[in-house]
Amino acid sequence: MPETLPDLSRLSLEEIAQLSAEHKLPPVEQWSPAKSGESEMRIARDGTWYHQGSPIRRENMVRLFSSILRREADGCYVLVTPAEKLFIEVEDTPFIAVEVKSESQGRERRLAFRLNTGDLVVAGAEHPLTFGGTTDAPHPTLLVRGGMEARVERTAFYALADWAIEEAHEPMGLWSDGSFFAMAGT
């Protein structure tokens, strides 16, 4: 039976932060398996996971694989267990921030994101937002874990831009969890 994801609109940021803190991931950074190979998997730019050219349609499988995903020091991505690590192609970022929720304003604002894998991340010092790209082709990202980022999808980005315009900070940007994120490049 698929795990039901919580509805962000019905949760407070405190509840979201608690759910995020309670989500335990395997200690992939501690594993150094000797056996390695190719997974024949890739994560497309749109966040779809593929195995041998076919999309993986079971959300629970994608969530499981995402929990053992790691970024290596050389920038490549692997699926890792204590027994082996398998290389996986990532076309852009391994995650996509598909939903954002904001509470409060100015320095008190907190921004919570839901990723395409169901993970919840509160932007702040440990999970900074960056606004790369250009005005015509923005590329906003959120650091998720272990050097892996989520690309902030268009609807969530437009919400961030609207809030930043309303607040009119100079430079343009937003606060979240005590950190300011300038929207330079947008």
Cβ(21)–Cβ(13) below 8 Å: no
Structural domain including 50 reads: 24-90
- CA dist., res. 101 & res. 112, Å (int): 5
- Burial label, 16 (beta-carbon count in 10 A; 0-12, 13-18, 19+): buried
pLDDT for 14 = 60
Q: Is the pLDDT of residue 104 over 60?
A: yes
pLDDT for 1 = 37
Residue that the structure tokens 């409060």 belong to: 104
Q: Is the pLDDT of residue 19 over 70?
A: no
In tens, the pLDDT along 44-69 reads 999 999 999 999 999 888 988 998 89
Instruction: Let me know if residue 14 belongs to a domain.
Output: no
In tens, the pLDDT along 21-36 reads 555 677 888 888 899 9
My answer on whether 110 and 86 are in the same domain is no
Handedness of CA 129, 134, 135, 139 (dihedral sign): negative
User: Could you tell me the CATH number of the domain that includes residue 155?
Assistant: 2.30.270.10
My answer on whether 77 and 108 are in the same domain is no
My answer on whether 77 and 130 are in the same domain is no
In tens, the pLDDT along 107-165 reads 999 999 999 998 889 999 999 999 988 777 888 999 999 999 999 999 999 999 999 99
pLDDT for 26 = 73
**Overall number of domains in the chain:** 2
Instruction: Let me know if residue 18 belongs to a domain.
Output: no
- CA dist., res. 92 & res. 171, Å (int): 27
- Taking the whole predicted model, whether its pTM rises above 0.85 is answered as no
- CA dist., res. 170 & res. 183, Å (int): 10
Cβ(85)–Cβ(30) below 8 Å: no
pLDDT for 6 = 57
Q: Is the pLDDT of residue 20 over 60?
A: no
My answer on whether 160 and 83 are in the same domain is no
pLDDT for 60 = 86
Instruction: Let me know if residue 63 belongs to a domain.
Output: yes
User: Could you tell me the CATH number of the domain that includes residue 43?
Assistant: 3.10.540.10
How many CA atoms does the CB half-sphere of 21 hold within 13 Å? Answer: 6
Residues 6 or more apart whose Cβ sits within 8 Å of residue 18: none
- CA dist., res. 128 & res. 170, Å (int): 19
Instruction: Let me know if residue 11 belongs to a domain.
Output: no
In tens, the pLDDT along 64-92 reads 899 889 999 999 999 998 889 999 999 99
My answer on whether 117 and 175 are in the same domain is yes
pLDDT for 180 = 94
Instruction: Let me know if residue 80 belongs to a domain.
Output: yes
My answer on whether 70 and 146 are in the same domain is no
Instruction: Let me know if residue 1 belongs to a domain.
Output: no
Last residue of a domain, one of 69, 90, 111: 90
Q: Pick from 180, 128, 175, 145: which is nearest to 21 by CA?
A: 145
Q: Is the pLDDT of residue 186 over 50?
A: no
Instruction: Let me know if residue 19 belongs to a domain.
Output: no
Last residue of a domain, one of 90, 119, 136: 90
My answer on whether 85 and 99 are in the same domain is no
